[in-house]
């Protein structure tokens, strides 16, 4: 009986240590008014990013690995923020590609184009030419770029960003309730540890 008790304590120690490590107000912020999630049946994890942001570029390998390993009950959503007029074309390009289901061709390539190749992607024509070289249908992309659907995505994204209280990227939000930044988490590599902790917290409370 004593041996069984020691085994149970040993199993609980990692979770206890994690619970003590990640604290509200220290490693993450609780959003005062929760923001409604896209899919109520799952735990939602949102990444807010911008293609012009060098920190988002360096965070991309971490988020890509995490996305490939996430559980089925987690709904991952990306929101490209618009912090100024020069950011809007990039957000439009992201949403147009998302709606056309071509992000597998364009997302990482866009980060690489901006931060490694130093391309100037200023608007629809620049993105259309660049994406065409990646195998994206230019006519479909250009039609979607100026579409009502993309306009709605932009408005929705701006509303979400304001609701989350995000003023810098990359930022992560779990279930519309908790905001995580690299500074609070202790570095980009730690952000997703905090995200996983909060996902488990939401699971334990029945979302």
Residue 205: its pLDDT value, please?
Answer: 84
Q: Which residue has the tokens 């391309």?
A: 119
- The DSSP result for 189-202, as a single string, is HHHHHHHHHHHHHH
As a whole-number percent, the residues of the chain with pLDDT over 70 amount to 90
Residue 16: its pLDDT value, please?
Answer: 45
Full domain range(s) for residue 92: 26-204
Within-domain flag for 34: yes
Residue 190: its pLDDT value, please?
Answer: 96
d(CA 112, CA 25): 34
Q: 128 vs 90, 137, 164, 201, CA distance in Å?
A: 12, 8, 32, 42
Tell me the pLDDT tens digit for each residue of 104-141. 999 999 999 999 999 999 999 999 999 999 999 999 99
Within-domain flag for 16: no
| 3-state SS class at 2 | helix
Residue 17 has pLDDT above 50, yes or no: no
Within-domain flag for 84: yes
Residues in the chain: 207
Within-domain flag for 183: yes
Report the DSSP pairing between strands 43-49 and 74-80. Answer: parallel
Cα angle 194, 73, 179 (rounded to 5 degrees) comes to 30
Quickly count: other Cβ atoms within 10 Å of residue 156's Cβ. Answer: 13
Total domains present in the chain: 1
Tell me the pLDDT tens digit for each residue of 46-99. 999 999 999 999 999 999 999 999 999 999 999 999 999 999 999 999 999 999
Q: Which is nearest to 77 in space by CA: 46, 37, 101, 38?
A: 46
Within-domain flag for 139: yes
Within-domain flag for 141: yes
Residue 21: its pLDDT value, please?
Answer: 80
Quickly count: other Cβ atoms within 10 Å of residue 20's Cβ. Answer: 8
Within-domain flag for 40: yes
Residue 206: its pLDDT value, please?
Answer: 74
CATH number at residue 32: 3.40.30.10
Tell me the pLDDT tens digit for each residue of 156-180. 999 999 999 999 999 999 999 999 9
pTM (predicted TM-score):
0.89
């Amino acid at each position: 009986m004593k041996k069984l008790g020691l085994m149970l304590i040993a199993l609980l120690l990692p979770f206890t240590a994690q619970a003590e490590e990640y604290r509200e107000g220290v490693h993450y912020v609780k959003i005062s008014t929760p923001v409604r999630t896209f899919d109520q049946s799952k735990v939602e994890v949102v990444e807010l990013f911008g293609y012009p942001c060098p920190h988002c570029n360096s965070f991309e390998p971490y988020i890509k690995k995490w996305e490939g390993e996430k559980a089925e009950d987690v709904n991952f959503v990306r929101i490209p923020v618009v912090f100024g007029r020069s950011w809007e074309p990039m957000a439009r390009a992201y949403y147009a590609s998302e709606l056309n289901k071509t992000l597998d061709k364009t997302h990482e390539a866009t980060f690489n184009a901006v931060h490694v190749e130093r391309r100037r992607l200023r608007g629809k024509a620049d993105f259309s030419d660049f994406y065409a070289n990646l195998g994206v249908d230019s006519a479909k992309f250009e039609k979607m770029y100026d579409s009502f659907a993309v306009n709605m995505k932009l408005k929705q994204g701006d509303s979400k960003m304001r609701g989350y209280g995000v003023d810098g990227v990359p930022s992560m939000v779990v279930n519309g309730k908790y905001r995580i930044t690299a500074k609070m988490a202790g570095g980009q590599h730690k952000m997703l540890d905090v995200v996983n902790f909060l996902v488990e917290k939401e699971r334990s409370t029945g979302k």
